[in-house]
Amino acid sequence: MRRMERQGKRKEAASRLRIRSAKTLAVALVAVAILVVSVIAVVGLVRSAPTPPVKAPKESLALAAPVASRAASVTAGAVEVPDLLGLTLEEARIVLRAAGLVTAVENGGATPDENKVVTEQEPLAGILAAPGARVKLSLADAGDASNVPAGRWVVCIDPGHQANEDTSPEPIGPGAKVTKQAATAGTTGVVTGIPEYELALQLSNNLKSQLERRGVRVVMTRSVNDVSLTNAERAAIANRNRADLFIRIHGSGSPDPQASGVITLYPASNKWTKPHAATSRKAAAEVQRAIIAETRANDLGTAARGDIAGFNYAKVPAILVECGLMSNPVEDRLLASPHYQDKLCAGIADGVIGFLRDGQEN
Ligand SMILES: [Zn+2]
């Protein structure tokens, strides 16, 4: 009985096995058929596509987006450096990898730490870089900014001019027919021989540290003299960083060697500047007043200008401080002195902070 039972069970098992193997065979046949069809489809695609259907890794797909969007105006293959300030190292790495750029940690520790954020980046956001370029990051404790108001202020400082002139024409505003030279070196100190672009950078660096000490986040349009930046591109950096103020630092010159003094320019209200012209005017008045109070320099007041590309492309409040006349021997020497630079920049910083506070209390 037991034996018969066992035999019966064996038969049952055998037939089940046959059914199962038949099913397996059917499934296998279907699978083979699908495979054949898809191979045919792929071969067809390869034949019909003008270029092979690239075995694209995700990185190169991500890369294509920023390149394509700026392809018209930019060197082929260039990538726009993203804004990384305030991100953790891990977040910054993800953003950079997606843009096809390489992360390089300058200081602050290379181990991801939730409490540390990017406080400086080089190149700056908005600059065009070659694919695979290194972006240097400085990290600091996020808590370092504890004395800063919740909606932390952003000031974009633009050190005027650059070592290399760019003689190509640039419209003075979006779509304008009137053009100006895209980039100039500026004037030169009559006694010191210091080029205006170098003085502007010295003053801007000084202003940067004074503002940062007072809790402002500073974005610089350039940190070296050897750059290639048009005035529209400088404004674009301020726009992209949604600066609360775009402040441009210059010296100037006059045919009259006796002429001296400080003047702060702001955008005349026109179709481009209308939304922020009045705010810019306020900023100019506040900064000019504070500079004169600090330095006792000759007060040349403030002036509206409609022909400045860096103003007309700006979508944020903008001013330009002409810090002194480098054609005046006395003022030229003063401007080159570290002590006077400290005073001048303390005045500018006072004015900027005053303007930012007024804006917040509205
Ligand atoms: Zn200038």
Tens of pLDDT along 169-224? 999 999 999 999 999 989 999 999 999 999 999 999 999 999 999 999 999 999 99
Q: How far, in Å, CA of 67 to CA of 81, rounded?
A: 11
| Structural class in CATH, domain 58-147 | alpha beta
CA of 250 to the centre of ligand 1 (A): 5
CA of 9 to the centre of ligand 1 (A): 99
CA of 187 to the centre of ligand 1 (A): 7
Q: Which residue has the higher pLDDT, 116 or 103?
A: 103
Pairing of strands 128-129, 116-122: unpaired
CA of 75 to the centre of ligand 1 (A): 27
**Phi and psi angles of residue 226, each rounded to the nearest 5 degrees, phi first:** -90, 75
Only one residue has tokens 């400086």, namely: 120
DSSP of 20-62: HHHHHHHHHHHHHHHHHHHHHHHHHHHHHSSS------HHHHH
CA of 159 to the centre of ligand 1 (A): 9
Q: What percent of the chain has pLDDT over 70?
A: 74
User: Residues 28-78: pLDDT tens digits?
Assistant: 555 555 544 454 444 444 444 444 443 333 333 333 333 333 333 445 688
pLDDT of residue 139: 80
CA of 314 to the centre of ligand 1 (A): 17
Per CATH, the number for 154-361 is 3.40.630.40
pLDDT, mean over the chain = 81
CA of 73 to the centre of ligand 1 (A): 26
